[in-house]
Structure 1
C-alpha cells in the first residue's frame, strides 16, 4: 500500500522497517479519540472556509460511520499504514476519494497524537476516580460494621496500642482519597489542546483552535507549539498517580496477606478470592493480594521506562515518543483490574473479632494507658514509663497480660496503683478515651465515616 508520506522516497521500506515502525497493534485503542478529534478539526476547517463546508460535512458524516463500523468489528487495520491516524485517514479516503485527503489540512500527526493521548488520559483519569470511589465506599461500609472491633495497632510490626479495625480501615480511606485527588490533577494536567501546533511551528491556515478546544471539552489551548507536540508530562502524571495508588494497594495487600495467615488469623478471605495448592491440599492462598502487590512493580516499571525515554529527547517531536502509549495503556489495564478485584475481595472477607481482641490484650497494647494512669496520679511521665516497663517485664515472666495481673502484683512494682487501674487498661476504655479528631474512639470514627461520605459526594 502506498505510504501517505512516500512522495520524497524512491524505494519501498523494508518489511521489517514497516513492522518496527508501526504502532497500530497497540494505538488502535485510540480510534475513538482519533475520530472525535478529526471530526472537531473537520468542522472547524469548514467553518473557517479552509475547506469547502459541504466537503467538511461529508468528512464528518463518513468519520461517524467509520466509528460505528470499528465498534461493530467491521474494520481491519493495516500495518503498512503504521498508526491509527493514517489508518483512519486511509479508510476515509477509500470511502469518499480525494475529499478525504483534505482532512489533514492544517495539522500533523505530531499534534494529532498528542491530542488523542490527552483525550484518552482525561477519560481514564475519570474512570480511575470512579473505581477508587467504589473501593472507598466498600471500606466505609466495612468500617461502619467494625467501630467496636478491637485490634492491636502496630509500629515496627510490633503490637503498640489498641485501636479498632474500623480505625485501621479508615487510614486506607485517607490514602485512597488522595489518590482520587491525584487523578483529578492528572485530568487537569491533560486538559490543554495541542491540536493546531502542527508538526512543531503551527500553520499558515487561519485555524480556530479555541473552537476545537470547546468542542473537545479542553479547558485550555497550548501556547507554545514546540511544547504542544513534545509534552508528555500528562502521561507521566498519570503513571506517577497510578504508582502511588498501587503503592497504597500494595501496603494494604501486605497486611491482608499477614492477617489471613495462621500466625495472625485476623481475617478469613472468601473462597472466591483465594486459591489452593497443586500439591498441598490444606492450603488457601491469598493470591489476589499477592498479585496486586506484584503488579505494583509492573506499574513502577512503566513510570521509570517512560521517564527514561523522555529524559534525553530534544525538542520537538521524536519517534521515541511512540513509546508513551503502551506504558499508559498497560498501567490503566493493570490498576483497573486491581481496583475491581481488590474491592470485591475486601467486601467478602470475614473478620475474626475474638482473635483480634486477644492479640491486642496479649501484646501489652494498653501499656501506654497504664503509664497515662500513673501520670494522672501525680507521677512524672518518664518515671511512669519506667514503672510500666518494669511491670511489663514482670508480666512477661509470669506469662500474663496486664489485665490478668492482681492488684498486689501491681503494687509490688509501685504502691501508687489502686483498683481503678483495671478500668483504665480495659481495651474498650483505652480506645474510646482517645476521643479527639483523628482518634480511634467510636464517636470519632463514625464522624469520619460520615465526613468521608460527604467528601465523596462533593468530589
Structure 2
C-alpha cells in the first residue's frame, strides 16, 4: 500500500500536529460520499482527456480503476484508514495504489473546493428523491385510510375545542396536503440545485478543465454554475434542502401530535397496531405511541440543523472557508433522521384501526352543530350578526335544559326567538352539516372523494419524479 496521501503541505517545514489532524479529519460517516466522488472523478478524467492532460488510453485506464474501486467499496473490500484526511485523499490513495504515478494525474485542474461542493450536491439531489419516496409511502397510507373513511363522521377542532362536524377522511387529507407540498419543495430544490460546481476549481475556475458544461451533463446537471466563486462558496442549496427537511419534520410532528390524541383513552378514536406501539417496563397495561413521540422529538433535530447551517453561513467572506464543512454533518443528520422516522410513521398510519362509532358519537359533542343554526338563519334573511347572537342564546338554552341541539323541539326554538322556525331541525344532524359543505375543498363526502382522486394523480406524478434518475 502507498504512503498516506496529503493533498497539501509542500510549502510547510513540519508536518501537521496531531491536534490539527484530529480536528481536520472527516468523520467516518462523511465517507458515504465515495460514490459521488467516484462519479465526479470519472467525469473529470474525461475532461482531462479533452484538455490533453490524459491520453485516451490513460483516461480509460483511470476510469476503469475508478469503477473497480467503486465495486470494491460497495463490497466492503476497501475502507479508509485513520490517515486518510477525507474522501478525496482516500480515493487518490486507492488510485495510486492501483495505477502508480498515473493515479496522481487526476488531480490536475480541480480542487477539493469544487469536489466537495459537487459531491454533496449530487448526494442531496439523490437524497431528495429517496426521501420523497418515503413521504409517498406515508401518503399512500393516508390515502388508503381516507378512502375507507370518507363517510366517517368526527368532530373537527379549532383551539383543541370541538368546532364543527367533518369527515375523518378530511382530517387525514389535511395532513396529506401538507406532505404533498413537502414533496413539491424537494422538487423545487432539485431544480435549483441542477447546476454543477465542477470546474470552478479553488474559486477562479480551471485553466485546464475548460468544458464544465460537458461534465455537468454527464453528472445529470442542467448546466455548470454561472459563477466560479459562487460555485464553491455558496451553500444556500444546502440550507434550502434543510429547510425542506425541517418543514417536513414539522408536518410529521403535527401528525404525530394528533396520533397521541386519537389513540388516547380520552379520545379513543384509533387503536395502534401492536407492531407500531410499545409498552411500559413497570405498567403492564400500557400501550404507548412511541413512534409518534420519537417523531416529535426528531423534528427538533431537523429544525436545529437548519438553524446551525444558517448561522454558519451568515458571515462568511469571499469564496471557500472550512466553516462550510458543517454542510455535510447537517445534511447527513437530516437525511438519517428522516430515513428512520418516515417508514415508521407510514407503517403506524397504515395499520391503525379507526373506531367509526366512537367518532360518530363525538361528532356533535360540544354543540358542534351551532353553526348550522346560524347559517340557516342567515339564509332566511337574518343578518349574520343577529343570527350569531340568536344561536348563542339557543346554546345557552340547551345548556340550561341539559339537552343537545339535535333534541330541540319547535316549542324550544320559539321560546328562544320567533325567527327560529322548525325548518332548521333537519339541518341539526352531523350528516346534514357535512353534506352541506359542498364547496371546493369542503368536507362533503362527494368533495372529499374528488380530493382523493386529485391527490392520487398528484402522488403519481411525484412518484414518477422520485423514481427518475
The question of a shared fold, defined as TM-score above 0.5 by the shorter chain, is answered with yes
Equivalent of 1:156 in 156, 159, 165: 159
Equivalent of 2:68 in 48, 58, 65: 65
How far apart are the structure 2 equivalents of 1:78 and 1:325?
Answer: 20
Match of 2:58 in 1: 55
How far apart are the structure 2 equivalents of 1:410 and 1:265?
Answer: 34
How far apart are the structure 1 equivalents of 2:324 and 2:82?
Answer: 19
How far apart are the structure 2 equivalents of 1:457 and 1:298?
Answer: 30
How far apart are the structure 2 equivalents of 1:47 and 1:127?
Answer: 34
1:408 paired to 2:411 = yes
1:397 paired to 2:400 = yes
1:423 paired to 2:426 = yes
How far apart are the structure 1 equivalents of 2:376 and 2:319?
Answer: 68
1:266 paired to 2:269 = yes
Residue 424 (structure 1) shift: 0.8
Match of 2:215 in 1: 212
How far apart are the structure 2 equivalents of 1:365 and 1:206?
Answer: 69
How far apart are the structure 1 equivalents of 2:380 and 2:212?
Answer: 74
Residues 276-307 of structure 1: CA deviation (Å, up to 9, x unaligned): 11112221111110111111111111001111
Equivalent of 1:37 in 35, 40, 51: 40
Q: Is the 8 A contact 2:118 2:197 kept in 1?
A: yes
Match of 2:466 in 1: none
Equivalent of 2:142 in 139, 143, 148: 139
Q: Is the 8 A contact 2:47 2:209 kept in 1?
A: no
Match of 1:199 in 2: 202
Residues 419-446 of structure 1: CA deviation (Å, up to 9, x unaligned): 4322111110110111110110011000
Question: How many residues of Structure 1 are paired with residues of Structure 2 in the alignment?
Answer: 459
1:338 paired to 2:341 = yes
How far apart are the structure 2 equivalents of 1:14 and 1:421?
Answer: 84
Residues 103-134 of structure 1: CA deviation (Å, up to 9, x unaligned): 01100000011110110011001112212222
Match of 1:85 in 2: 88
Q: Is the 8 A contact 2:239 2:306 kept in 1?
A: yes
Q: Is the 8 A contact 1:24 1:77 kept in 2?
A: no
Structure 2, gaps ≥5 residues long:
463-469
How far apart are the structure 2 equivalents of 1:247 and 1:438?
Answer: 23
Alpha-carbon RMSD: 1.3
Aligned CA distance change for structure 1 residues 206 and 332 (closer, same or farther; 3 Å): closer
Question: How do 1:18-417 residues align onto structure 2 when only pairs under 5 Å count?
Answer: 18-417=21-420
Q: Is the 8 A contact 2:48 2:208 kept in 1?
A: no
Q: Is the 8 A contact 2:199 2:209 kept in 1?
A: no
**TM-score (norm: length of structure 2):** 0.95
**TM-score (norm: length of structure 1):** 0.97
SS in 2 for 1:420: helix
Residues 323-368 of structure 1: CA deviation (Å, up to 9, x unaligned): 1101100101111221111111001111111221221212211100
Residue 410 (structure 1) shift: 2.2
Q: Is the 8 A contact 2:113 2:201 kept in 1?
A: yes
SS in 2 for 1:7: coil
Q: Which moved more, 1:6-15 or 1:90-99?
A: 6-15
Equivalent of 1:442 in 417, 435, 445: 445
1:454 paired to 2:457 = yes
Residue 376 (structure 1) shift: 2.9
Residue 2 (structure 1) shift: 5.3
How far apart are the structure 1 equivalents of 2:400 and 2:358?
Answer: 23
Residue 16 (structure 1) shift: 2.5
How far apart are the structure 2 equivalents of 1:300 and 1:24?
Answer: 22
How far apart are the structure 2 equivalents of 1:159 and 1:184?
Answer: 37
Higher relative contact order (CA 8 A, sep 6+): 2
Residue 61 (structure 1) shift: 0.3
SS in 1 for 2:364: helix
Residues 3-38 of structure 1: CA deviation (Å, up to 9, x unaligned): 232311222222222121101512101000000100
Structure 1, gaps ≥5 residues long:
none
Residue 217 (structure 1) shift: 0.9
Aligned CA distance change for structure 1 residues 206 and 14 (closer, same or farther; 3 Å): closer
Residues 219-241 of structure 1: CA deviation (Å, up to 9, x unaligned): 12112111111111111111000
